[in-house]
Structure formats: structure tokens, C-alpha cells
Amino acid sequence: MESRSKAANRAIFISMIILSVVFLAPIFIVLMNSFKGQFFISDAPFVLPTAQTYVGGKNYVNGIEKTGFISAFGYSLFITVFSVMAITLCTSMTAWFIVRVKNRLTSGLYYLFTFSMIVPFQMVMFTMSKTANVLGLDNPVGIIIIYLGFGAGLSVFMFSGFVKSIPIEIEEAAMIDGCNPIQTFFLIVFPILKPTAITVSILNTMWIWNDYLLPYLVIGNKYRTIPIAVQYLQGGYGSKDMGALMAMLVLAIIPIVVFYLSAQKYIIKGVVSGAVKG
């Protein structure tokens, strides 16, 4: 019986290694090709760089110059950081209000937030882009409000599940000690929400940083984020600078991979905590 258990564990371990290789292979291929001349990438994409094909950091320099990568990085960083901050703060407060104030209004709000998760973006993207233009939201600050709207559904759902697990006696004790609702939330509730807040921040950071369609529709070419800037490496008649493209993909991937690896341990903890039903 023990030998069977060891064999099963060994099989699972080997399977996980194989899956890891499969998932990491595309990233390695992109990194490898970012050091090749662009004419060699199409001919031998799965071959390591040789003395003939290796071009060092030339692709990175060309890509940064052609795309305006530094500016695009700044716009992406600004939009991502402030959008995630807005989503985390506003949706946590909303979820707390919905859970603690139980009436028809809050029940309706909860179901509206939940319903928004299943509405495909394609159904509203043209109306949304026109509305953003009319309201003057077609800029790096305005798009933060739009991201707050699209990110609210899942975030409120996750926060609500966690708030239900917080004993209300803790908040009542704070009220007795003289805290008003705002103080109670920021001094008592929000620190307890930390695991879910970190999870919501991670998930929204990965989404917003890599998002192409929403910035393209709302702010377009005037304020290029990294995904939009990379797309402009494609020239006329479908021609592409593959070397620069691979290099820019590597630079775009690095920040989000580092962020995810440094915070991924909180994801499962936060998701499980948010799944608690009250």
C-alpha cells in the first residue's frame, strides 16, 4: 500500500514537471529569439542562438527606439497602479456596505455586480468607447474610472464572501469605543481584509497590465501603453520586425512575472478566504 502511494506521488511529481515545462516553454522561446537576428527567427525559431544568429542587445535597443517603450512603460505603470488602488479601495468599501446593510437596495446592487461578470466585453465596447469620448474619459486618468467599472464585479464578489466571515461583534466593539463607520472600516475591517485585498490586487494588476483592447479603444495611439506600443512594430503589408517584437515582449513580461512570483502565495489564501459563505 505504501509503495503504491509513493508511486502515485512520483507520477504526480513527474506530471507537474512536464506541465511546468509545457507552460514555461513559450516564455523561453520568446527570450531565446529576442537575441537572434530577425531573419533567423522565422527560419529556426526553436534553435538556440549561434555565433551567426546572435545579435546581443540590438533587438532591445531597436525595439525601445521604435516603440517609445519608456513612455509606454510609464503610461502602463500609471494606469495599472492607480486603477488597482481604486478597484481595491472602492470595491472593499462597497462589499462591506452591501454585507452589513441588508435591504433590497444592497441585494440589488450585489446581484448587479455579480451579473456584470458574465456580460461579454464585446457587447458593450463600442458603446463604452463612445461614452468615454463624450465624457472626456479618453485619457490616462479617465480610463482608471473605466477599469474601476469593469473590475468591480469580481472584486465585490470576492470581498463580500470574506466580509461575511468577519464576526460583526468586532465592529460593534469598535463602535462602542467611539469609532465612526469610516474609522471602523479603515482601522478594523480593512486590515482583516488584507488576504483578499492582495488577491484582488494581483488579479487586477495582471489583467490591466496586459490589456490591449480597452486602452486601444479608449486612449488609442495618443497615450500608448505597452501592448499598444508593441503592436506598432507591425509594418505595412504585414511586415514585422520579429527581433524587436520578441525583445519588447520580454521587457513587457518581466515586471508582471516578478510581481506575480513575489505575491502569488497570497492568491490561493485570498481566494479560499473569499469563498467562505456567511
Q: What is the pLDDT of residues 69-113, one digit of tens each?
A: 899 999 999 999 999 999 999 999 999 999 998 888 988 999 999
pLDDT at 92: 94
**CA dist., res. 275 & res. 61, Å (int):** 46
Average pLDDT, the chain: 85
Q: Which of 1-5, 37-41, 137-141, 222-226 has the lowest mean pLDDT?
A: 1-5
Tell me the β-bridge partners of 234: 240
On the question of pLDDT at 65 being above 90, the answer is no
Which amino acid, one-letter code, is at 131?
T
> Coil, strand, or helix at residue 47?
coil
pLDDT at 276: 47
The domain segmentation of the chain, as residue ranges, is 2-58, 65-274
Higher per-residue pLDDT: 251 or 275: 251
pLDDT at 245: 86
On the question of pLDDT at 126 being above 80, the answer is yes
The stretch 39-49 carries a mean pLDDT of: 81
Question: Which residue is associated with the grid cell 478566504?
Answer: 273
CB 230 within 8 A of CB 252: yes
Which amino acid, one-letter code, is at 103?
N
Tell me the β-bridge partners of 240: 234
Residue 95 grid coordinates: 462589499
**CA dist., res. 132 & res. 143, Å (int):** 8
pLDDT in tens, 175-227: 888 888 889 899 889 988 888 898 899 889 989 999 988 998 898 888 889 98
The stretch 42-59 carries a mean pLDDT of: 82
According to CATH, the topology of domain 65-274 is MetI-like fold (1.10.3720)
CB 260 within 8 A of CB 146: no
Q: What is residue 187's DSSP assignment?
A: I
Question: Which residue is associated with the grid cell 467611539?
Answer: 178
Residue 79 class from Cβ within 10 Å (0-12 exposed, 13-18 middle, 19+ buried)?
Answer: buried
Q: Quick one: angle between helices 142-163 and 104-116, nearest 10?
A: 120
The stretch 123-149 carries a mean pLDDT of: 90
> Coil, strand, or helix at residue 8?
helix
On the question of pLDDT at 268 being above 70, the answer is no
Residue 43 grid coordinates: 527560419
pLDDT at 57: 83
Q: What percent of the chain has pLDDT over 90?
A: 24
CB 148 within 8 A of CB 86: yes
